[in-house]
Chain A
Amino acid sequence: MKLRDFVCFEATITELQASDRDGVIEELVASLDKAGKLRKGKSKDISREVIKRENEASTGLGKGVAVPHVKHKDVKQVVAVIGQTSAGIDFSALDKQPVYSVILLISPSEDPDKHLQAMEAVFKHLQKERFRKFLRQCSRKEQIEDLITEADEEPSW
């Protein structure tokens, strides 16, 4: 599975308005909803579930990135959205540093294997310093799409 197979680029937010973690999650889920990626009327419930999961253990794994996620019964296919903030958001990250790039991921609860494959695609890129740096520098949606396409296609990236 490749990152571009399930990232909704239309819903990308290059400069998040929210200034706290829960607000960022709600903003990204709402953006997916607006792009027509979620079942009607489920957006609030999904946000709540992502926040609940985040409260159990932070998905801010360090190095300025966070991957809030949840497995949800009302989602049929893995879907993700990318949000960026130049101000930095406190995600209670493992390294206690602010988060600048957020990849929010929602997976169907009945297919845990798909969720793992999506996570593999996410971290294959995120674990590379160059990718994190380039991602943070993207200021337009198209740049993010181009970066991900390039990283997906080029194994040596």
Chain B
Amino acid sequence: MQAEEDTLEKDTYEVELEIKNSEGLHMRPAMMFVDAANRFESEINVSNGDTNVNGKSIMQISMLAATCGTKLKVTARGPDAREAVAALQKLVEEKHFDEPKPKKK
């Protein structure tokens, strides 16, 4: 139980992010994601419901097969968890990795 108390002391933030660019989370955006995640000290986990991976590992992020419209749960745990989640949300949902969105829904 000691371990659980330790994690509780840290800040945890969680957000659901939708992939908006039409090509999905292919290698280039995956690298942008990992680069952004690595700027933070917090642990970052990403889940697509089936697979739960380390948000700082490019190989693991490439296992998510996150197509356009996929929703990913991003959990950050650590001293800068809030900032990490905000930065990733901006990258994925606002900037959609500087890539085009689908032409029409």
Contact = CB atoms under 8 A, between A and B. Distances in A.
What secondary structure prevails in chain B residues at the interface with A? loop
A69 B67 CA distance: 17
Interface residues of A, number: 21
B65 to A, nearest CB: 4
Contacts, number: 51
A147 interface: no
Contacts of B58: 61-62, 94
Interface stretch (B19-27, B39-47, B86-94): B19-27
Interface stretch (A23-31, A32-40, A72-80, A120-128): A120-128
What secondary structure prevails in chain A residues at the interface with B? helix
A116 B25 contact: yes
User: Which of B23, B59, B63, B67 has the most chain A CB within a 10 Å cutoff?
Assistant: B59
Q: What are the nearest 9 A-B pairs in CB distance?
A: A120-B65, A127-B59, A123-B62, A112-B23, A113-B67, A116-B65, A123-B63, A123-B59, A116-B24
